Chains A and B, each alone.
Chain A
Amino acid sequence: METYLFYILAFITVVTTVLAICEKHPVHAIVYLVTSFFALASIFYLLSAPLVAMFEIIIYAGAVMVLFMFVIMILDLGHPEQVERPGLFYWLPAVFLVEIILFSLVLMLSVHSGVSVKPPAVTVHDFAVTLFTRYGVAIEIISMQLLFAVVGALYLGRRRKI
């Protein structure tokens, strides 16, 4: 049953992502993207990573996308009639290159035969232990990075006499 669920969710993810990309209105694009993230989080949950799924929804879909929304509103970009779709010169090479990469990746992946092994599922307990023992230093560094980002964002966004 989970197998079919996975494929359905995968399908939803891909479709909403495509719609998000092709959408002229930025706000609509962001909403489509949030939907895609929800589907992706469900996939994570199916892949026995509930914590990552939660973090994805809370941080990614909740904070990051809202931040996007804020910026769109501030810059007053929400007028679809003023936006013009990218011309041929832009999306043709993009499609071409993307096709090549996709085709090559799929080829490499399908050639490689998967190894069937049945390991135990990862629990939250395992996750926590690994996170705080093995990657303790990484947490500290990431928190410092977030600090840098806050400082940078504050500096860049400050009001100044124009």
Chain B
Amino acid sequence: MKLSLELIVLLPLLGSLFNALLGRIVPRRLAETIACAVIWGSFVAALAAARAYSGPVTMEMASWLSAFDFHAPLTLYLDSLSLILCLMITFVCGLIHVYAVGYMQDEPGYCRFFALLNLFVAAMLLLVLAENLPLLYLGWEGVGFCSYFLIGFWYQDPNNATAGRKAFIVTRIGDVGLALAIVWIFQSLGTVSITQVNQMGHSLPLGVITGLGLLMLLGAMGKSAQVPLMVWLPDAMAGPTPVSAQIHAATMVTAGVYLLMRLFPLIGLSATVTAAIAVTGALTAFYGATCALVQRDLKRILAYSTISQIGYMVLGVGVGALTASTFHLIEHAFFKALLFLGAGCVITALHHEQDIFRMGGLRRTLPATFYCFLAGALCLAGLPLTGGFFSKDGILAAVWQQGGLLGGGLYALGLLTALLTAVYTFRMVFLIFGGNEAQGPLASAPLAAKGKPHQTLPSVMQWTLIPLALLGLGGGLLNLPAYLGQGWMAQLLAPLDHGDQHGLSLGVELTLQGLAASISLAGVALAWFRFGGARRAQRLAEAEQPVRGLAAFLLAGWYVDALYRLLFVRPYAWLSGVLWQGVDEGLVDQSFDQMGTLLGRCGQRLGSWSCGRVSIYLLSLSAGAALCIGWFAWGAL
């Protein structure tokens, strides 16, 4: 067991080191193979750990930080939640690595890419398996660092570097919250071990718990792109598509949710905190869905969709339904990674065209991609009997069970968001894959002119989509609702839950499921009426006009970027300008310059004493004599 745990974290780390140090020397195929092999090796180690799993396990690997009474050794903690997440992470990331081999086949900087990708997986696994908070923070920072580097992978374009910087700075704001919470925990409880902290939660006053919870929520907001710190995720799409799939869909953005789930026994004791978490999640879900409705860039649609779905997960945590949240997290990883990888296939095939209004007829030319993408879209929209349906419905049922004004309002918001989700998902599908090829006024002229419409896709890029599609569609089997047999995941995660799940009666549960199913079908129908078939060409023509009104508002992400620029960026830039030119150059430099000039002038004045004029010399002599004689006379008094 210990060996398995060590291998889970160490293998990706070693792969990263190999690629970083030796990747340029060895042949390209070898570097890529090592990079993928370590992830799959990690998956095998996770499977071995799962086979040997019989209960929560703590393994201390080595000592790390130890001073006075502060101890933070390198300890890994395996319980059902981290085991499930390890399996998901290694599997999905393994597939994405294989995909990336094909996607980046023309890229000269592949060593850097794979080294960072492996390092990212190592950090994420460390985050998930960490037993104490500093180790978790190490993994947290590690994923943030890799994310920054990978977003700005093609750094020669300043836009990419700016997007990376934006991601780093915004998540840093959240990280401050987490760091403060860790220090506060140590100061109140004297320990930073997560297992101990979760047990000691009752000994703290409610105000402290609320404060800690809100700080951790801030950290989660940053990392998981929740309102108000969600502005970085749409811009982070500047990175390569495998990066978007791995980091910004399946794994890193779920780190915030994981943090909240891990420390839920502590922070769930405060009703304020749980309400705040739930409201944040619901608002973010709604925000993401509305913005995704009008986007034109394919990856931006998926980015806003990620924001929205993670909002659902956070909402689930807020109402205490940890199983449902975990289930949705796993499902989301599968179908969102699938959608991103499919988007990568589409974009590569169309010579890096990302505007969905310029695509068309791909269901005939890229059939494998089309069917897998459709599978992912079905899960995202939550059509009945897909995995996505069961997971989303689980969360909504838990919200309904919460009851009260808050529960009711959040349920309505969640339902509305589900409708919007179905609409935008199938808007995307119809616009990309519907119609005929090169139809409409906006279709890319060079494609038609060349006669050879598509760039040939590497086969790995299409084959890796299939396992994800199967998992997405069949994922419902992982956690069937109670009336269809006890959910396997619910049994596994039972120690985590607060046990509120079992209160729904069969009738209520069926009603809720039926409601959710009908909403998603209605959404698909709406999308069909607007974007499907003959109306598609109409929409393409309309898309030529500049966007106005509500659409413009949504397209700019509710103008949050502009708001932040006004509130924070401009005053900060003004302040730095003042400090730079006014204080640093004006005050500090000037004072040094003037001091130097002053000394020079003093020296010159003193130097002018040797002017060559005898009268001045005589005067100086007599003045000196007067001084000495006067001194003696004074002494003689």
Contact = CB atoms under 8 A, between A and B. Distances in A.
A–B contact with Cβ pairs below 8 Å: the answer is yes
A28 to B, nearest CB: 23
B264 to A, nearest CB: 90
A142 interface: no
B188 interface: no
Contacts of A103: 633
B170 to A, nearest CB: 73
Contacts of B619: 93-94, 97
A143 B630 CA distance: 38
Contact of A97 (B623, B634, B637): B623
Contacts of B625: 97, 101
B637 A111 contact: yes
Nearest to A103: B633
A101 B630 contact: yes
A11 B626 CA distance: 25
A152 B619 CA distance: 28
A107 B622 CA distance: 18
Nearest to B627: A100
B622 A101 contact: yes
A104 B623 contact: no
Residue from A93, A94, A105, A108 having most chain B Cβ neighbours under 10 A: A108
A4 interface: no
Interface in A102-158: 103-105, 107-108, 111-112
Contact of A108 (B615, B622, B626, B633): B633
A104 B633 contact: yes
B483 interface: no
A112 B626 CA distance: 20
A21 to B, nearest CB: 15
Nearest to B618: A94
Nearest to A90: B615
B52 interface: no
A101 B623 CA distance: 9
A108 B615 CA distance: 28
Q: Is the interface on chain B under 10, 10 to 19, 20 to 34, or 35 or more residues?
A: 10 to 19
B551 to A, nearest CB: 87
Contact of A107 (B615, B623, B626, B636): B636
B632 interface: yes
B629 interface: yes
A105 B633 contact: yes
A108 B630 contact: no
Contacts of A104: 626, 629-630, 632-634
A100 to B, nearest CB: 4
Contacts of A90: 615
Nearest to A105: B629
B626 to A, nearest CB: 4
Interface in B597-637: 615, 619, 622-623, 625-626, 629-630, 632-634, 636-637
Contacts of B615: 90
B634 to A, nearest CB: 8
A99 to B, nearest CB: 9
Given A101-B629, A104-B630, A105-B629, A111 B636 contact: yes
A112 to B, nearest CB: 8
B620 to A, nearest CB: 10
Contact of B633 (A93, A94, A97, A107): A107
28 contacts: A90-B615, A93-B619, A94-B619, A97-B619, A97-B622, A97-B623, A97-B626, A98-B622, A100-B626, A100-B630, A101-B622, A101-B625, A101-B626, A101-B629, A101-B630, A104-B626, A104-B629, A104-B630, A104-B632, A104-B633, A104-B634, A105-B629, A107-B636, A108-B629, A108-B632, A108-B633, A111-B636, A112-B636
For the complex of A and B, the 4 pairs showing the least CB-CB separation, nearest first, are: A104-B633, A100-B626, A104-B629, A107-B633
Interface of A: 90, 93-94, 97-98, 100-101, 103-105, 107-108, 111-112
Given A93-B619, A101-B625, 18 more contacts: A90-B615, A94-B622, A97-B619, A97-B622, A97-B623, A98-B622, A100-B626, A100-B629, A100-B630, A101-B622, A105-B629, A105-B633, A107-B633, A107-B637, A108-B632, A108-B636, A111-B636, A112-B636
